[in-house]
Amino acid sequence: MSRQLFELPDDDPVITLLVDAIPPGWAMLNGLLFPTLAVREEVTVVDDAGYLFHASAPAIVGRRKRDGKRTRPDALRLLRGWRPGFVEFENAGLSPDAPSLGEVREIAAEFVNDGYRGRLEFAYCASTGSVLQVAARCRFRLAHTDAWPWREPAPDHEDPLALGVEWNELYGGREEDCTMILRVCRSLELRELSFVA
């Protein structure tokens, strides 16, 4: 497996540009975005309701509780213009009967551009017989671990926002599968980081 890791600035347009650089032929998106304190100071957020984009149709859902079950969402507030308390992606873009990866990538980019943070993982899949294997992936860490779900990171926090790009030759992944995103990282002169084992 080959991988590269880049430090990300906490800059909405830069992160949006990187999300937009995910190649169109990739298969799916998993992740969770949430409004930061800065967003919460500007708009009204409904904490117990959000959007779920998954392999089937998009849905308005409640927040997950510790036991894995969901709260009852206040969908009416979302329909009245409140901002969602979270946006989840579960194998989004994988099914031809649901929004495409291009569409969910645009949705993710819009929320990132609006100041939402969290984590996103895009995957490029290769078929080996009847099994779908992840040949390449691009992981965005858009929040410090102590920022979950709505706390700002401590000023002396050393864990940077980051973008990891990897490809697995064993499953047919190649550096060429990641060329678009790597090109944008290099053109932005993002600092390359070392992976910690």
The CA distance from 36 to 12, in Å, is 12
Question: What's the token pair of residue 13?
Answer: 């347009």
Sign of dihedral through CA atoms 126, 175, 194, 13? negative
Sign of dihedral through CA atoms 120, 84, 107, 27? positive
Cβ contact 166:137 at 8 Å:
yes
Digits of tens for pLDDT over the chain (197 positions)? 899 999 999 899 999 999 999 988 898 999 999 998 889 999 999 988 999 998 777 899 998 888 888 888 888 998 898 999 999 999 998 887 888 889 999 999 999 999 999 999 999 987 655 567 889 999 999 886 544 444 444 455 556 789 999 999 888 888 999 999 999 999 999 999 886 65
DSSP letter at 85 equals: S
The domain spans of the chain are: 2-193
- What is the pTM assigned to this prediction? 0.86
**Max CA-CA distance within the chain?**
51
- For β-strands 192-193 and 2-7, DSSP reports them as antiparallel
What are the strands of the beta sheet with 192-193, ordered from one edge? 59-62, 49-54, 87-92, 28-35, 116-128, 131-141, 162-167, 2-7, 192-193
Question: What's the token pair of residue 71?
Answer: 């709260």
